[in-house]
C-alpha cells in the first residue's frame, strides 16, 4: 500500500508541475482606441468620452464582445483500481472587465464550489469514488457565455489622489508573498532606482511596465519562477513578467496583482497571465508587460477584449484541502488533481482538459 501511494504521489506531483506552465502566445495585435469612443456605463446607458491627458483618472469599458466557452475534463483509467479521484478547476465568474451572460451549464455538477470573498478567487471541485473502472473513462463538460470588455484608462498622465493606507486591501496588495517577493532587497533596490524622484503612482507603474517589457525575454520554463527568478535571469513566461511588475509596484507602495486567465479564442493562444495596479478612487488598471514597446505595442492601461479572467492571485489555497498534493497552487489556471488507487498500474490513470470557444456575435 505504501509503495502504491509513493508511486501515485510522484506521478501526480510530476504532472501538476508540468501543467502549471503558461503557454506561449503569439503577438496578438492590440486594439487601437480613437480619441473619442462610445462607452457602456454601469447603468446600461451610453455616453461619449474623450481620451485626454491631465484629467481625473477614469476607467472606460468599451467594445464588448460575447464568447461561448466550453471546457471538457476527461479521466482515462487504463489498468488501476481507483479508490478516489479529486479535481480542482478555476471557476469563471464576474469581474470588472467581464460578465457572465447566463448561468453556466454542466453535464456533471461539481461536488462543491468555493469563492474567496476577499480576492474573488473561485474554484470548482469534483470528487469521484471507485471510478472510472479499469479500461474506461469519465468526462464532464462546462459551458459559459461571457461578455468581455476592452478596458482603457482615459489618460496616460492622470490626476491621482493619495492611497487610503488604512484599507485592509491596501495592505494585502502591497505585501510580499510567494512568487511576488516585493521585500527582496534586489527588487526593492531596482524599484527605487527605476522610480527615481517620481511621485505619481501612475507614472511609476509606467516606468516598471516599460522596464519589465524591455528587460525580460520570453522563454518557457517549468511552471512559474516568480519575481526574483525573473529579475535574476531576465527570462520567463508571461506569469513571470507579471510577477516582476507586481513586485516592483508593491515595493513602491503601489497596490498590484496578477491576473490569471486565457485567450478567448484559440487562434490567439491558450493560457495567459497579465497584471493590474490600483489607483485610488479609480480602480484596477490593466497592464500586460508581456506586450509593450519591445513588441511595438502599448498595453499600459489598455487591455483588449480578447481575454477571459479566471482569478487574480498566485499561491491559491485549494478547497477542500488536498490529501496528497500541495495544499496550494502557484497558478490556478489549468487544473490540479490527485488520486489514490488500491491496486493496478497507477501510471495508467491520466487526465486531459480541452477548451473550445467561439465568438457568438
264-307 per-position pLDDT tens digit? 999 989 999 999 999 999 999 999 999 999 999 999 999 999 99
- Look up the pTM and report it: 0.85
Q: Are residues 352 and 305 in the same domain?
A: no
Q: What stretches of the chain adopt beta strand conformation (E)?
A: 36-40, 46-50, 59-90, 98-106, 112-115, 122-129, 136-153, 217-218, 235-236, 256-263, 271-279, 283-287, 302-303, 307-311, 316-317, 328-329, 336-359
| Residue 48 maps to a domain | no
Q: Say what the pLDDT of residue 157 is.
A: 80
Looking up residue 78, the CATH number of its domain turns out to be 2.60.40.2250
| Residue 299 maps to a domain | yes
Q: Are residues 215 and 337 in the same domain?
A: no
Q: Are residues 317 and 305 in the same domain?
A: no
**pLDDT tier for residue 118 given thresholds of 50, 70 and 90:** confident
Element (H, E) at 15: helix 2-19
Interval 300-329: pLDDT, tens: 999 999 999 999 999 999 999 999 999 999
Q: Are residues 119 and 235 in the same domain?
A: no
Q: Are residues 101 and 141 in the same domain?
A: yes
Residues above pLDDT 90, as percent of the chain: 79
**Burial label, 254 (beta-carbon count in 10 A; 0-12, 13-18, 19+):** buried
Q: Say what the pLDDT of residue 258 is.
A: 98
Q: Are residues 286 and 318 in the same domain?
A: no
Calpha distance 246→251 (Å, rounded) = 9
Q: Are residues 325 and 221 in the same domain?
A: no
Q: Are residues 261 and 331 in the same domain?
A: no
| Residue 45 maps to a domain | no
Q: Are residues 169 and 252 in the same domain?
A: yes
- Domain residues for the domain of 285 are 161-309
Looking up residue 194, the CATH number of its domain turns out to be 3.10.620.30
| Residue 267 maps to a domain | yes
Domain tally, the chain:
2
Q: Are residues 136 and 187 in the same domain?
A: no
Q: Are residues 123 and 243 in the same domain?
A: no
Q: Are residues 71 and 114 in the same domain?
A: yes
More confident of the two residues 197 and 10: 197
| Residue 43 maps to a domain | no
| Residue 317 maps to a domain | yes
| Residue 75 maps to a domain | yes
pLDDT at 178 over 90: yes
Calpha distance 248→243 (Å, rounded) = 9
**pLDDT tier for residue 57 given thresholds of 50, 70 and 90:** confident
pLDDT at 126 over 50: yes
| Residue 32 maps to a domain | no
Amino acid at each position: 500500500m505504501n509503495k502504491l501511494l509513493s508511486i501515485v504521489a510522484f506521478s501526480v506531483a510530476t504532472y501538476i508541475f508540468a501543467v502549471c506552465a503558461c503557454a506561449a502566445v503569439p503577438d496578438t495585435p492590440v486594439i487601437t482606441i480613437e480619441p473619442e469612443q462610445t462607452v457602456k456605463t454601469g447603468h446600461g446607458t451610453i455616453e461619449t468620452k474623450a481620451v485626454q491627458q491631465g484629467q481625473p483618472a477614469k476607467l472606460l469599458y468599451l467594445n464588448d464582445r460575447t464568447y461561448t466557452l466550453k471546457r471538457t475534463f476527461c479521466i482515462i483509467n487504463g489498468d488501476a483500481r481507483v479508490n478516489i479521484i479529486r479535481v480542482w478547476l478555476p471557476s469563471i465568474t464576474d469581474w470588472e472587465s467581464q460578465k457572465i451572460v447566463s448561468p453556466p451549464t454542466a453535464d456533471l455538477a461539481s461536488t462543491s464550489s468555493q469563492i474567496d470573498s476577499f480576492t474573488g478567487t473561485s474554484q470548482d471541485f469534483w470528487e469521484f469514488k471507485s471510478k472510472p473502472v479499469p479500461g474506461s473513462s469519465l468526462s464532464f463538460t462546462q459551458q459559459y457565455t461571457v461578455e468581455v470588455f476592452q478596458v482603457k484608462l482615459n489618460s496616460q498622465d492622470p490626476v491621482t489622489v493619495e492611497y487610503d493606507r488604512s484599507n485592509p486591501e491596501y495592505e494585502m496588495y502591497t505585501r510580499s508573498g510567494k512568487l511576488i517577493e516585493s521585500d527582496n532587497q534586489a527588487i526593492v533596490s531596482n524599484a527605487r532606482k527605476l522610480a527615481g524622484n517620481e511621485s505619481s503612482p501612475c507614472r511609476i507603474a509606467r516606468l516598471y511596465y516599460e522596464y519589465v517589457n524591455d528587460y525580460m525575454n520570453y522563454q518557457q520554463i517549468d511552471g512559474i519562477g516568480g519575481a526574483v527568478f525573473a529579475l535574476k535571469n531576465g527570462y520567463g513566461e508571461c506569469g513571470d513578467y507579471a510577477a516582476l511588475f507586481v513586485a516592483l509596484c508593491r515595493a513602491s507602495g503601489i497596490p498590484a496583482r496578477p491576473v490569471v486567465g486565457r485567450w478567448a479564442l484559440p487562434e490567439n493562444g491558450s493560457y495567459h497571465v497579465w497584471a493590474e495596479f490600483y489607483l485610488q478612487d479609480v480602480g484596477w488598471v490593466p497592464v500586460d508587460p508581456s506586450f509593450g514597446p519591445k513588441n511595438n505595442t502599448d498595453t499600459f492601461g489598455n487591455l483588449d477584449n480578447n481575454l477571459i479572467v479566471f482569478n487574480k492571485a498566485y499561491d491559491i489555497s485549494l478547497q477542500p484541502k488536498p490529501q496528497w498534493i500541495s495544499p496550494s497552487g502557484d497558478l490556478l489556471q489549468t487544473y490540479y488533481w490527485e488520486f489514490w488507487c488500491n491496486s493496478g498500474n497507477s501510471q495508467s490513470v491520466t487526465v486531459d482538459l480541452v477548451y473550445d470557444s467561439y465568438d457568438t456575435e
